[in-house]
Amino acid sequence: MKALLIRDLTLAFRAGGGFGLALAFFLLVAVIVPLGVGPLTEILGRIAPGILWVGALLACLLSLDRMFALDYEDGSLDLLATSPMPMEGVVGVKALAHWLVTGLPLTALSPLLGLMLNLPGPGYPWLILSLLLGTPALSIIGAFGAALVVGVKRGGLLLSLLVLPLYLPTLIFGAEVVRRGALGLPVQTPLLLLAAITAGSLGLLPYAAAAAIRICLR
């Protein structure tokens, strides 16, 4: 599993498979929104939690179509399916690699973008915490969606249509954590719900994704 993780990370950095692309998209969102809204800092601060979470969600979505497609095209996925490593483990490693090149850098960059969007000071710790809790769910849900479209030519649009509805609960509760934290309101309920979504996704979706891949390879 370690060798597979290193391989996926190396390919992502060499081919520009998500790291720079996701960060650039996230940064563009934070730059363009203030230009569109105008110099109204109060409005920017109010919409900052939702904008930051929408930006993170869309940035994570950019590289999902390549999670299994490249391995399917060059035959690596067939070798992984017949290797001693369980397919559930392969899905987990792929999702972890995706999170390391997208979710984790986005979380690290989020305070700077929050500053650009005039996020209130109390919201910064909750922004980082919500992204740390929520972005793993985005990666594993994305892995499930990518597994469903393995072998489908130009399946990027179909993947987006499948994954975006599944992303909505994470988006809603993640943005709510930041909004409540910025206003000084209790955050326990949305934070626990966000953690429950991530835990449930990590516990169930690798098996569903592995089953979808096995069906595709038959």
Residue 137 is part of which domain span? 2-217
Residue with tokens 């290193």: 6
pLDDT above 70 (res 168):
yes
CA 196/CA 199 separation, integer angstroms: 5
Domain total of the chain: 1
108-117 burial string, b = 16+ CB within 10 Å, else e?
A: ebbbebbebb
Q: How confident is the model at residue 17 (pLDDT cuts 50, 70, 90)?
A: low
Neighbours of 206 (CB within 10 A): 24
Residue 103 DSSP label? I
3-state SS, residue 115: helix
Task: Tell me the residue ranges of DSSP E strands in the chain.
Answer: none
pLDDT above 70 (res 18):
no
Q: How confident is the model at residue 3 (pLDDT cuts 50, 70, 90)?
A: confident
3-state SS, residue 69: helix
Mean pLDDT over 81-85 rounds to 81
What pTM did the predictor assign? 0.90
For 150, phi and psi rounded to 5 degrees? -60, 130
Residues 6+ apart with CB under 8 A from 171: 53, 54, 57
Helix (H) or strand (E) holding 187: none
39 or 119, higher pLDDT: 119
